[in-house]
């Protein structure tokens, strides 16, 4: 117990010390400091023993589940309707194009890393193609271009890809049915999964319908704790349902829980509640999940095979640049359509969750997992520097 407290305390100290540097100078989320700390400890046997302790595993899993909960909480379907079909199609085409190119690379060049499965390669590539719009927002704000066509396309595509992330996570429980070479006893019952998925959706819709009755009660109440307790109640309820009732759908269940609780909260004071949710997710629980990701990385595999990292970045960034140019060169011109693709190459946490689930299930190799994380983490500062430098040279349309 004391070893776990020691590691947690050290993690928060690192967040305080280096989080500021990441935010201010590298324009990366401060929470990546926990990931870097984990990578630094990846060769420490003491750290691995502590991380594998059941209590730490439980806390780390809560961090992952709360990040998934926040995906559902932050999905704004009304805003997506306002984005227009062009942005939605653009987001879908860009993500799918990168999924196909990177997936093809993994399947045809590194097949053993993805269990010799084209489906695993494609799902892994989709998780890698997600956009870190939360990282790009401060940069767009700094250059005062959020309201431009360039800024709206960037944020719109980054927001719309949340739907793809949810669909990918929803599909994960069905993957073993499509993997060759595994015994049928390992397959989850597809009928049961579909029934459970339908039950989760039905429960979520029922709660959303209750929102019209519950929101006025919360608004009239002067008890501030109600909103926070409501959020925690819904989160743990859906987490428990995912673990014990809707088997194999734990991740999907908490995402729908996030959607449900958003519908229950009144718009008045919503921003303050959103900040509280972000604090609980990012500041309290998520750092432990990021720490465990870093510690589970195999630095030896990256050192032995750095080509995998370089090729992954080249193919993924190249596909984003090409797709962005083909879709938006008429609206933005050659220079800024390519710059849009470069910005969309910035990645964040949700893809790490999918990759972590795939690794835990033994579907992808530790070397591929390490390369995916390393590519996302170590190339982000370079991409952000180039992105900011290019924006400083002129204002996009």
Do 367 and 305 contact (CB within 8 A), yes or no?
A: yes
- Asked if pLDDT for residue 77 goes beyond 70, the answer is no
- Asked if pLDDT for residue 184 goes beyond 70, the answer is no
Q: How many CB atoms lie within 10 A of CB 369?
A: 23
C-alpha to C-alpha distance for 132 and 283, rounded to whole angstroms: 18
Q: Which CATH number fits the domain that encloses residue 167?
A: 1.20.1530
In the predicted model, what is the mean pLDDT of residues 343-347? 83
Tokens standing for residue 186: 């390992």
In the predicted model, what is the mean pLDDT of residues 274-283? 74
- Asked if pLDDT for residue 55 goes beyond 80, the answer is yes
C-alpha to C-alpha distance for 203 and 129, rounded to whole angstroms: 30
For residue 82, the model assigns a pLDDT of 59
C-alpha to C-alpha distance for 383 and 377, rounded to whole angstroms: 11
For residue 108, the model assigns a pLDDT of 92
Alpha helix positions (H), the chain: 2-25, 32-40, 45-51, 54-74, 77-83, 85-109, 118-128, 133-142, 149-171, 190-220, 225-240, 250-264, 270-278, 286-295, 299-304, 306-343, 349-360, 366-392
Q: First vs last Cα of the chain: how many Å apart?
A: 56
Measured CA to CA in angstroms, residue 302 lies from 58, 232, 371, 374 at distances of 28, 39, 6, 8
For residue 183, the model assigns a pLDDT of 43
Question: Worst-scoring range by mean pLDDT, 77-86, 118-127, 201-210, 307-316?
Answer: 77-86
Tell which residue, 39, 16, 51, 29, has the closest CA to residue 373: 39
Tell which residue, 42, 54, 34, has the closest CA to residue 286: 34
- Asked if pLDDT for residue 203 goes beyond 50, the answer is yes
329-338 per-position pLDDT tens digit: 888 888 888 9
pTM for this model (two decimals): 0.78
C-alpha to C-alpha distance for 56 and 49, rounded to whole angstroms: 10
Number of domains in the chain: 1
Angle at which helices 366-392 and 32-40 cross, to 10°: 140
Do 148 and 79 contact (CB within 8 A), yes or no?
A: no
Question: Considering the domain boundaries, does residue 397 fall inside one?
Answer: no
Q: How many CB atoms lie within 10 A of CB 130?
A: 26
For residue 185, the model assigns a pLDDT of 42
In the predicted model, what is the mean pLDDT of residues 151-168? 76
For residue 321, the model assigns a pLDDT of 92
Of 197 and 312, the structure prediction assigns the larger pLDDT to 312
Top-confidence range, 29-33, 184-188, 314-318, 373-377: 314-318
354-365 per-position pLDDT tens digit: 888 888 878 888
262-277 per-position pLDDT tens digit: 888 887 767 777 777 7
Quote the domain boundaries for residue 101. Answer: 2-392
Q: How many CB atoms lie within 10 A of CB 367?
A: 19
C-alpha to C-alpha distance for 265 and 279, rounded to whole angstroms: 17
Question: Considering the domain boundaries, does residue 27 fall inside one?
Answer: yes
C-alpha to C-alpha distance for 11 and 32, rounded to whole angstroms: 11
C-alpha to C-alpha distance for 364 and 376, rounded to whole angstroms: 17
C-alpha to C-alpha distance for 261 and 277, rounded to whole angstroms: 11
């Amino acid at each position: 117990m004391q070893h776990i407290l020691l590691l947690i305390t050290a993690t928060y100290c690192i967040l305080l010390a280096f989080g500021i540097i990441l935010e201010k100078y590298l324009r990366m989320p401060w929470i990546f400091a926990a990931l870097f700390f984990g990578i630094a400890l990846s060769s420490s046997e003491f750290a691995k023993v502590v991380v594998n302790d059941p209590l730490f595993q439980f806390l780390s899993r809560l961090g992952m589940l709360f990040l998934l909960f926040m995906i559902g909480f932050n999905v704004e379907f009304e805003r997506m309707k306002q984005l227009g079909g062009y942005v939605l199609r653009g987001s879908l085409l860009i993500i799918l194009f990168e999924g196909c190119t990177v997936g093809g690379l993994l399947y045809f060049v590194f097949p053993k890393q993805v269990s010799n499965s084209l489906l695993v390669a494609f799902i892994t590539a989709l998780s890698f193609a997600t956009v870190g719009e939360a990282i790009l927002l401060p940069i767009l704000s700094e250059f005062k271009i959020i309201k431009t066509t360039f800024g709206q396309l960037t944020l719109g595509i980054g927001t719309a890809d949340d739907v793809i992330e949810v669909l990918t996570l929803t599909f994960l429980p069905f993957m073993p049915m499509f993997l060759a070479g595994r015994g049928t006893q390992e397959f989850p019952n597809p009928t049961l999964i579909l029934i459970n998925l339908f039950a989760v959706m039905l429960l979520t819709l029922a709660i959303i319908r209750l929102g019209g009755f519950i929101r006025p009660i919360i608004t009239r109440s002067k008890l501030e704790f109600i909103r926070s307790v409501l959020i925690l109640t819904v989160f743990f309820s859906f987490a428990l349902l995912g673990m014990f009732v809707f088997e194999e759908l734990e991740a999907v269940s908490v995402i729908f829980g996030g959607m449900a609780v958003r519908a229950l909260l009144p718009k008045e004071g919503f921003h303050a509640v959103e900040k509280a949710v972000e604090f609980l997710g990012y500041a309290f629980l998520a750092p432990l999940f990021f720490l465990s990701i870093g510690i589970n990385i195999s630095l030896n595999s990256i050192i032995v095979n750095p080509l995998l990292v370089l090729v992954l970045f080249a193919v993924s960034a190249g596909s984003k640049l090409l797709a962005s140019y083909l879709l938006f060169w008429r609206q933005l011109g050659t220079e800024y359509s390519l710059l849009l693709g470069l910005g969309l190459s910035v990645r964040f946490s949700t893809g790490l969750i999918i990759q972590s689930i795939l690794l835990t299930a033994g579907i992808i190799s530790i070397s591929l997992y390490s390369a995916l994380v390393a590519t996302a983490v170590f190339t982000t500062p370079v991409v952000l520097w180039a992105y900011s430098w290019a924006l400083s040279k002129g204002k996009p349309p």
